[in-house]
Amino acid sequence: MTGPGKNPDDAAEVIHEQRRECLCKLTKFVGAAGVAAAMWPLVAALGPDEQTQADGEPMDIPLGNVAPGETLRRVWRGKLVFIRHRTEQEIKLANALDGVSRIQPQADAQRVKPGHEQWLVVYGYCPHAGCIPNEQTGEKSGWLCPCHGSEFDLSGRVTRGPAEENMAIPDYAFHPDGQTLRIGVKDV
């Protein structure tokens, strides 16, 4: 291995240098693969799930088993939707509060479908910061955002707190049978 004018220590140093370079490259490769493997679940979690990848197809919701005073929670296109079966007393209270909303005064009749006043359909998010409001019963029936204190009446109108908008209303319609709600359409 050594020839005239070659130092055996120089050859050993070259071999050691090549090994170091190889180990460094291998370590970088394994490290990059480890980071990619660790990031994969995070990146996959940030994307839409299989239910929402149906590109917003309308969703039918049977209403026959929902008693007055109950609220259904459904997820459509990755967004929470509240479907409230309001009692006669709740409808009267919502109508009595027309014009009370401090930001966007809307009549209750503008927030429900004619002939289906007992059904309130709103997105289940506080428009202030996207929190999910908790349902309130009793004197202050409606929803309360636990994070910042915004309050919404039984029509989804903001009555108190930092929210600047009423709870949003998705496109929806009722089937002619009156017992099925279709979210994602304006007419059936």
Residues marked active site are found at 148
With a CB cutoff of 8 Å and minimum separation 6, the contacts of 168 are 122, 123, 125, 127
Q: What is the DSSP string of 117-169?
A: TTEEEEESS-TTT---PEEE-GGG-EEE-TTT--EE-TTS-EEESS--SPPP-
For β-strands 180-183 and 59-62, DSSP reports them as antiparallel
Q: Which of 77, 107, 75 has the alpha carbon at shortest distance from 91?
A: 107
Q: Which of 53, 108, 82, 90 has the alpha carbon at shortest distance from 183?
A: 82
Phi and psi torsions of 52, nearest 5°: -85, -10
